[in-house]
Structure 1
């Protein structure tokens, strides 16, 4: 599935899309046509969709998308004749990943802006995914409804979400919108090759980027830059890559009943990322104390 669903999107006109993103609209008098979702595979098209034809796809897929209810199509200018043959209005453009991400977020209602977004990166996919689970558990311990995006299992609060990995731009906006609609206050995303395609986080504003890897200042800066370039998210220029600190390590050691050092490091990373998001140390200590007493 690669779509931003109608049930979680806002309605936008083709005229707005054309003027806002610099696309050409044919015919021009179709500027009042409203689309309620966006999809880039024919099988994910729903009535009212804007269908985005990928560069490597056959023009014949346009007719399939229209038969499934697409109200309009977005195609490269070279395919204008094929779009006219499909019988629906066409936006002519070859948007880059950043533009497609912005468009998908726009139609989805910019769901990332309603939540705190945490992204975990690193070297090994399995370790990153395990770190994501620990960060999500800790944020939940602090009282936050949490959504998870990970190849090991995506979820919205307690509800598991069935997805095909790796995820693309539209998949991510769909997941964010579902979790926002469910009331999630935080999202934790696994930035690994099993979970995300390159550029998948275009249109997503990230609040905290963290890793369990032990890096020096230069390595931290490189990892920050490379992760941002690979997945395309935006983040405050003043932010840094969050790693385990002496304080977060001490708190994790005091709170954890496990002698497994890796488990303590994962908890330490979760604490450090929560602190970077502005969670007060007193709240963290209280949550850790309650969790320890419950065990």
Structure 2
């Protein structure tokens, strides 16, 4: 969060139909603290009463600002997080603990919300007392009087660093998987047995020669399977009792939808169950193995036929 916006640059005449809280929300605001330029930390008197204890007990960093964005209060959690002492990081000094790459964007969004009265939300990095920059989620909501004027902003900042690290690790993992699938030309198919929906990756569609908008139905797949292999594949992959087949692996011929070319594919799958033992999902792969099949034919031919005469070696 950021404080001390140029009050001449803001307008708070906007009328809104919003629920209102008591103007001071049970907080004493000394008259001298409302004077522009006063030290922000002295603006609210929370030294006594249960509200101070409640705010300090929260896991989030809490801040309260006046309509211009000037800081009036921070709870103890902020100082524990940053390692600062009360009054040490106030007003624009707060920007000094924000990561250089994040401050401008978060500050601009805060200024915009102060102008419009919209709820504020931003994610950026703040320097922890350990010296590490940690990601936080900052939010602030305006409080209105009975005339629809903003009288105060209530905000929180939540440490989401571990969540961001987990999200980044997941993103990297998914990117690696995507690259691996593209490199190996491996398609993925996923069938939800509860809802009946199916999903095929782009590579799975490419292998079958299907357009991106082609439906991912049972019939779409079986129509591509060679007629001589269709009965076998249907019995294995579309059994009436999915619980009867836990895993499967088959090779078959397909007829590509776009070119009509005959190709060989290897497809495998596994049935997934819920805690009650009911089949709920089938997940598997499909891969074009035409080159391998052609290689196997050539190897067999070389082993059984004379390369010069073309006659079986048993006759030569």
Higher RCO, 1 or 2 (CA under 8 Å, sep at least 6)? 1
TM category, shorter: under 0.3
TM-score by length of 1: 0.24
**Structure with higher helix content:** 1
**Structure with higher strand content:** 2
In terms of Rg, which structure is larger?
2
